[in-house]
A = this chain, B = another copy of it.
Amino acid sequence: MKYIEKLRNSGLRPTKQRLQICEVLFNSEKTFHFTINELDQKIKKQINDKISLATIYNTVHAFEKKGYLKQIPINSNQTYFDTNISDHHHFYDLKEEKLIDLENADVGPINILKKINGKRIKSVEVLVKLED
């Protein structure tokens, strides 16, 4: 029910698979970071249906394009996504290989002084790597 309109408004048909993925992604108390494979595992645990991996890829990319997910720039062999789409930054714990949110207030205001002719700033993302 909850997500049908959201999908329709985005021009995405509210299929069973997409609604189930919405539940897993957006129906939790806290936002979280994930790779496609982690999401696949989470879906397996939370629902009794099987959703093909291709559909998970398709859906995550569709949601990202609509702005319901963010991709996090990080050096990893897997792509990391974030259900927290607010303007925020990240710690990356190198040992644990885990991302931790840094709210915008946790980082002083960032002022980009350099300008590039004919280009606009789309986003400013800070990655703070942590070691022991």
Residues in A lying within 8 Å of B, measured CB to CB: 71-75, 79, 91, 93-94, 100, 102-103, 105-114, 116, 118-132
Shortest Cβ distance from A58 into chain B, in angstroms?
Answer: 17
How many subunits of this chain does the assembly comprise?
A: 2
CA distance A109 to B120 in the complex (A): 21
Q: Given contacts A73-B75, A75-B79, A122-B94, are A130 and B116 in contact (CB under 8 A)?
A: yes
Please report whether the interface of chain A is mostly helix, strand, loop or mixed according to DSSP: strand
Determine which of B73, B111, B129 lies in contact with A107 in the assembled complex, contact meaning CB atoms within 8 Å. Answer: B111
Instruction: Please name 25 pairs of A and B residues whose Cβ atoms are closer than 8 Å in the assembled complex, sorted by A.
Output: A71-B75, A72-B75, A75-B79, A91-B114, A91-B116, A91-B119, A94-B122, A100-B116, A102-B114, A105-B113, A106-B113, A106-B114, A107-B112, A108-B108, A108-B109, A108-B110, A112-B128, A116-B130, A118-B132, A120-B130, A120-B132, A121-B128, A121-B130, A124-B127, A126-B127
